[in-house]
Amino acid sequence: MSDLFSIEGKTALVTGGSRGIGLLIARGYVEAGARTYISSRKADVCEQIASELSAGGTCIPLPADLSTLDGVRQLVGEISAREPALHILVNNAGANWGAPLEEFPESGWDKVMNLNLKSIFFLTRDLLPQLRKAATPEDPARVINIGSVDGLHVPSLETYSYSASKAGLHHLTRVLARRLAPDHINVNGVAPGAFESKMMEETLRNFGEQMRQTIPRRRIGEPDDMAGIAIFLASRASAYTTGALIPVDGGVSTCL
């Protein structure tokens, strides 16, 4: 059974891997023996986190601004120059924006859509040669898209572009799963609920206890909760799972 869930020796790229959910996933992969690249916009932070994670395995920083297609191309070029094959791509980098409906700016819409949806499509497309190289019928290559419970229901906060982008990502996950299944590339999505992260910091500070009372498990997500699902979706245990969207939210999605 340990071999069934092993990702040791695999190569992974985690975007937005220097903080929040991306960091939880990256740490889990490093400690599980995967050669893990992390990408984030701030080079100094990316390098610092990679150095810290390397104490438990292999973690390599590849700073890139994925909000632009130039940044996507840069990251593709960097990973392609280092790795002919990529077993795991975790599309986690994302942004949020909140504003009242009447005041919601175009810049807030475009920033979120570009990073949360557009860049994921083009990064996945452009890394297909490396994913196909790693893929086998017995153990497919993996694309894991990090969506959100806010893409499953109407959130109470006025984060219009965020919830729309995550709902779009959920559907894109299914579309890509069907298209890439013959290439032995599994595409699955994770819809996290509340986890401690920089994006959630202010929300948890102001509404943390109130949120806990609305979560059936009565707690916020912990690091092992996210590492566990990410390792499952990257391991041979999920070889026959593609096109799935898995809520990791303490049961919130059962209340929708």
Just list the catalytic residues: 162
Rounded to the nearest angstrom, the gap between the alpha carbon of residue 109 and the centroid of all alpha carbons in its chain is: 20
- Rounded Cα distance between 231 and 141, Å, is 13
- Rounded Cα distance between 21 and 167, Å, is 18
Q: In this structure, how many other beta carbons lie within 10 angstroms of the beta carbon of residue 166?
A: 27
- Rounded Cα distance between 141 and 197, Å, is 28
E strands, the chain, in order: 11-15, 35-39, 59-61, 88-91, 141-146, 185-192, 245-248
- Rounded Cα distance between 189 and 248, Å, is 10
Taking alpha carbons only, the member of 48, 37, 43, 50 closest to residue 77 is: 37
